[in-house]
Amino acid sequence: MIGARDENWAGSVADVGEPRTVVASAGRFAGRIWSVRTDTVDFDGQLIDRDILLHLGAVAIIAIDDLDRVLLIRQYRHPVAMALFEPPAGLLDVRGEPPEATAARELAEEAGYQANNWQVLVDFLNSPGGSSEAIRVYLARGLTQLAGGRPTTGEAEEAYLPRVWVPLAAAKDLVLSGAIASPSAVCGILAACAAKESGWTNLRPATAPWPLRDQLLAQGRVHLP
């Protein structure tokens, strides 16, 4: 019974690795970006089946110019059949490429910009109830536009990515009003607003460890390219 034991937490408030015993596992689907498997998990003697979407992982970039405007791109997302305003982003699909290098490459490929100043803005799990997708959002400042503009590297959804510069305060209002709902935009914009209030002094360097992703890799919960 729920009321028969104390459910008040007295420990540290920080996410930690706490894997349960998997007594069986069955693959269901294997694709380029993700795979799906069913784990039979031992929860204190009770065996429960849980479906898991194993994801590559991704990075996103909140690029802010000297006028405190954030760069967003408009991209079609077929699963929701919507055109969403998002920060430049990309999958960690190049084996061995550091995530900060992926971020720099994606900022160039999706927006046609490079940055001199990179920091980690926020890390988050996109949908931990069913997916292992971990996303690191970087803050990019000191921006310059590439001489040749955005390279032609994408296809289909990425062939046309119109961009817009939105004042950071206005971008926050768009998030809070529900006008923008992409998770990388919501997390990144709100984190940028909080970081700005602190004078950008509480951010990690671009090369900071990413223990969340390290745990997922160690546990075989990343769909590797």
What are the catalytic residues? 158
Q: How far is CA 12 from CA 9, 96, 123, 129, in A?
A: 8, 33, 19, 22
* Angle in degrees, 0-180, between the axes of helices 183-197 and 168-177, rounded to the nearest 10: 130
Size (the chain), residues: 225
CB 135 within 8 A of CB 60: yes
Decide: 146 and 112 in contact? Cβ < 8 Å: yes
